[in-house]
Structure 1
Amino acid sequence: MTNTSILTLDSVSLALPDGRLLFTDLSETFDQRRTGLVGRNGVGKSLLGQILAGQREPSSGQCRRLGRIHLLNQQVIEHSATVADLAQVGTVLAALERIEQGSVAASDFDTVGERWDIREQLQGHLQRHGLGQLDWQQPAHSLSGGQAMRVALVGAWLSEADYLILDEPSNHLDSNARAQLLSMIEAWDRGLLVISHDRSLLAHMTRIVELSSLGLQAYGGNYSFYSAQKASQTALAQQQLARLKQQQQRQARELQRQREDLERHQARAGRNARHANQAKILVDRQQERSQATAGKQRRDHRDARQALQGKVRDAAREVEQDSAITLHAPTPQRNPGREVLALQALHLPRGTRKPLNLRLCLGQRVGLVGANGSGKSTLLRLMNGELPAPPDSLRLSGETALLDQHCSALPGHTSVLDHLRQANPTLAQSDLRSRLAQLGLDAARIELPSGLLSGGERMKAALAAVLYREQPLDLLLLDEPGNHLDLPSLAALEHMLGQFRGALVVASHDQVLLDQLALDEYLHL
């Protein structure tokens, strides 16, 4: 495979409608190597993907493209009306139908182009990927999140594009679908950019590019290589900055000592001149020389300070400005070992037909796994009391909260700050803001309607409302909590869950995340 440059960024910058500069002066080339794009939530990865695909114009600079680009992002999943729209062939199929009904419009023929067998191609791809039961006219909202993503991926491979840009393609996919995605990626022989926080998926990339406050930085290896190089690079940059700051302190002390020495020398010389009964002209000349020496010393000191300050500024630019992500574990209310949940021959209204049995006490943690459609989300809603269940089949005791994968408890018109205030009205305003800042949520953005935030920022906001609610939790239910979270936030989530002393049920297809949680058992649906 030749590393032909297909996408080229040339000094690209992007300003948001509120005037905030999201990123600036980005220059990078993307060739046919499988590339993963990583970065913190809200840094602009998805918007950069839209620029690369030609769906958004940069505020300055330019993006050059060679060949056809196909972008699969969350907007496709959220705003598609039909299965055909999910596969991004809805307009082609609609034009084909109009032609079959007698249309002679040039625009319809232009839309179809050479894709006269697109209907058969779509159905054949759906069949091969275990989705043959779907009809291309079927409403998109009738599909599960995993099915919708699989259809969108089928559309990506059906696009015959020269370059694919996939934004969080493993979200909602079960283990079988993830394996299928990896096989498709391994077989793809054209340009590919994957925007993701999925460590298993990033392990299959041949290059990682990170978008951060420092701009774009390319690392020539998979996720493990990137992680090691990034840690080493960050440590060196921080050490260099610390050394220069120490040098700055030593310099300040030395310059102060030199000033004090000069002042003492001048004072002593003045006293000697007065007592020596020297002619006034000689005394004046000595004072002039002394003032010239003091002036030169001040200039030298100023130049030395400015030179070192410049080095400190340059070193600081090499250190990312993002602060560490911190999550505080909620404290369960009562004694460890108390039962908080019991399932006895529980039958789900949809999903698996197998009766479920489980007893869960404070301090226990369970991984909930199973294929898409097996009923994991339904079971979590039953556990949270959102769906009715026979009292002899499900018993709950204590405070329970559910964070679902769609952040459905977070209204799009409500700000993050208001949402957290509603969850905990007793917490001081300063504490609310501090908790959100520790999650890496920008102070200005927490007052915007949450619908304007990125998926990762919304997930963090919903997580804050669950963790920092007024009543301490006994049972925490998480439905795909890793979806949309950036890598530092995932690490913080894993650390927090390790400290949580309540009962925990986590539904996830992310085996790396599950492995970090020291689960007591798995419940397979």
Structure 2
Amino acid sequence: MTQTLLTLDGVAFSLADGRPLFAGLSETFDRRRTGLVGRNGIGKTVLGRLLAGELAPSAGRVLRQGRVYRLAQQLAPEGTTLAQLAGVHEALQALDRIEAGAGGEHDFEILAERWDLRARLQAELQRAGLPPLAPETPAARLSGGQAMRVALAGAWLADADFLILDEPSNHLDRAGRQALLAQLARWQGGLLVISHDRELLETMQAIVELSPLGLRRYGGGWSFHAEQQAQQRCDAADELARRQLERRRETAALQREHERQQQRQARGRRERADGSQPKLVLDARQERSEATTGRLQRRHDTRRAELEAQVRAAAARVVEDTAIVVPPLPPAVLPNEVLVFDGELPFVAPPLARLSLVLQGATRLAVTGPNGCGKSTLLRVLAGRLAPAAGRCERRVACAWLDQRLADLEPSQPAIEWLRAACRQRPEAELHTRLAQLGLAAATLGSVCGALSGGERLKLALARALLADEPARLLLLDEPGNHLDLATLQALEAMLRGWRGALVVVSHDEAFLAALALHERLEATPQGWCRS
């Protein structure tokens, strides 16, 4: 029998404002590779933090056996070093003090006899396809994919019994994703992967879904989960329809029975009025009728309550798959040349440093290539956030840049205020309506941007770009799918397919790119940028 490593026992959690996020969660996790799925904002990351012991539940308890290591979704706050990103900063500092002869008992506890930690770190970085990097290297110098590889290297170095990985394939290129799958296949400890990556989830031995109904476990990978989930939703909808039909039929039958009793009482009143029956007989008959009516009313009330309870119970098993509507950009005439870049990219090595690029009209361009080749740098230059090393970059329409970290969001500012600052000409009611269409609940709009989930932040940033007083006509998207659940990603695909503006998108998700009806591709190759 597989040893249980983590146990949820009636766990509940409430947000800082008192709103309940979930309640009554009970589940066990062992060494089987398990995927955790669910809509954005449902609480997957919070649940991961509860399992890792980083948060305390509002009710219930979390039991752990062995050491748990959690890889966070948001990897590198400003000022983070490579060692901090890999989770070995304190251990390396302890090692330095011990080697300098200034180590104390606490240093030996932190190091835990990992005397070869520096060598192991470099070996893991090499295995991840990264060049030799000093532990004090600023994480800001790394691309999103390189940062994720460093963080994953830290996970393998953690000597943990159970790993919790939150969106580990985010930012990884194709080679990085294949390396991650290979590493997970070799992992012998417990594993919980929070992800919307269908290829990664397919390799799991079980899928646990978090929904408004709680946690539900499915055996097998993503395909089996999707098939079972679809069947369960169909069954739940059928059960609800059956219970609703039963309620209508029985309510109609109860009404007919009530009307017949009313008719009998009416006949008794007519007979009393015309005096055709002795009063003693009529009084006895009336007494029996009133008693029957009382019993009948109580029986009807009880049955109606039972029918209502059955319908409510059936409805509670139906999870509404609410459609998400991304606000469309109003049609506009685009100039012949939307963007012109002719020059050299900073921080990018030859031959990829040099590029000449002209976007004409509603061009739809994918930018692809391995991690670290300069794709994000290119988008920053095109957005005007970074000056070219040489040459010129001209934008001839309003441009919106949504980077991997969504750096433009003000973490301490309420979401609605951050949106309103760019959308002063739109009524408050319209902003709330548009955000609701995006799947952002009214309660989240008062939350500060830093408290929103990754998907919620991306939807908020997208709304600001499209609803601004000067709406964007050129969208520069850097790995937008990294923050979205599957339903929202498909909604974004649909919006971008029908959008009339110009689009440049960086992504390693080939399924996402295939859905966008792209015109061209700009690929980073060993020979330089290749446009096809």
Normalization by structure 2: what TM-score?
0.92
Q: Cα distance, 1:76 vs. partner?
A: 5.1
The aligned counterpart of 1:92 is: 91
Cα 1:340/1:24, change in 2 over 3 Å: farther
Tell whether the 8 Å contact from 1:340 to 1:398 is kept in structure 2 after alignment: no
- Cα deviation, 1:252-297, whole Å, max 9, x if unaligned, reads 3333333233222311232133324322222222221221222122
The aligned counterpart of 1:518 is: 517
Cα 1:142/1:476, change in 2 over 3 Å: closer
**Structure 2 residue 283 is the aligned partner of structure 1 residue 247:** no
Cα 1:447/1:302, change in 2 over 3 Å: same
Deviates more, 1:155-164 or 1:70-79: 70-79
Q: Note the residue ranges of structure 2 that are not aligned, 5 or more in a row.
A: 525-532
State the aligned residue count.
522
SS in 2 for 1:291: helix
Instruction: Kindly provide the amino acid, as one letter, of the partner of residue 210 in structure 1.
Output: E
Q: Cα distance, 1:356 vs. partner?
A: 3.0
The aligned counterpart of 1:15 is: 14
Cα 1:466/1:101, change in 2 over 3 Å: same
Matches within 5 A, 1:68-107: 68-74=67-73, 77-78=76-77, 81-107=80-106
Cα 1:132/1:375, change in 2 over 3 Å: closer
The aligned counterpart of 1:220 is: 219
The aligned counterpart of 1:236 is: 235
Q: Cα distance, 1:79 vs. partner?
A: 6.8
Tell whether the 8 Å contact from 2:398 to 2:472 is kept in structure 1 after alignment: yes
**Structure 2 residue 289 is the aligned partner of structure 1 residue 290:** yes
- d(CA) in 1 for partners of 2:247, 2:491: 34
- d(CA) in 1 for partners of 2:9, 2:39: 22
- d(CA) in 2 for partners of 1:418, 1:342: 31
Q: Cα distance, 1:238 vs. partner?
A: 2.0
The aligned counterpart of 1:341 is: 338
Matches within 5 A, 1:64-213: 64-74=63-73, 77-78=76-77, 81-213=80-212
SS in 1 for 2:483: coil
- d(CA) in 1 for partners of 2:465, 2:161: 43
- d(CA) in 2 for partners of 1:379, 1:109: 45
Instruction: Kindly provide the amino acid, as one letter, of the partner of residue 45 in structure 1.
Output: K
SS in 2 for 1:254: helix
- d(CA) in 1 for partners of 2:140, 2:279: 99
Cα 1:13/1:134, change in 2 over 3 Å: same
Instruction: Kindly provide the amino acid, as one letter, of the partner of residue 351 in structure 1.
Output: V
Tell whether the 8 Å contact from 2:481 to 2:489 is kept in structure 1 after alignment: yes
- Cα deviation, 1:215-264, whole Å, max 9, x if unaligned, reads 11111121222222212212221232233223333333333333233222
The aligned counterpart of 2:371 is: 372
Instruction: Kindly provide the amino acid, as one letter, of the partner of residue 307 in structure 1.
Output: E
**Structure 2 residue 343 is the aligned partner of structure 1 residue 356:** no
Q: Cα distance, 1:340 vs. partner?
A: 4.2
Q: Cα distance, 1:210 vs. partner?
A: 0.9
Tell whether the 8 Å contact from 1:477 to 1:505 is kept in structure 2 after alignment: yes
Q: Cα distance, 1:26 vs. partner?
A: 0.8
Q: Cα distance, 1:501 vs. partner?
A: 2.3
- d(CA) in 2 for partners of 1:344, 1:439: 33
Cα 1:409/1:340, change in 2 over 3 Å: farther
SS in 2 for 1:368: strand
Cα 1:182/1:137, change in 2 over 3 Å: same
The aligned counterpart of 2:277 is: 278
Instruction: Kindly provide the amino acid, as one letter, of the partner of residue 327 in structure 2.
Output: H
Tell whether the 8 Å contact from 1:331 to 1:473 is kept in structure 2 after alignment: no
What do you get for the CA RMSD once the two structures are aligned? 2.3
Cα 1:255/1:340, change in 2 over 3 Å: farther
SS in 2 for 1:231: helix
SS in 2 for 1:423: coil
Q: Cα distance, 1:157 vs. partner?
A: 0.7
Tell whether the 8 Å contact from 2:345 to 2:390 is kept in structure 1 after alignment: no
Matches within 5 A, 1:438-457: 438-457=437-456
Tell whether the 8 Å contact from 2:40 to 2:456 is kept in structure 1 after alignment: yes
- d(CA) in 2 for partners of 1:253, 1:130: 71
Q: Cα distance, 1:345 vs. partner?
A: 4.5
- d(CA) in 1 for partners of 2:253, 2:470: 56
Provide runs of 4+ in structure 1 moved above 6 Å. none
Question: Identity of paired residues, percent?
Answer: 48
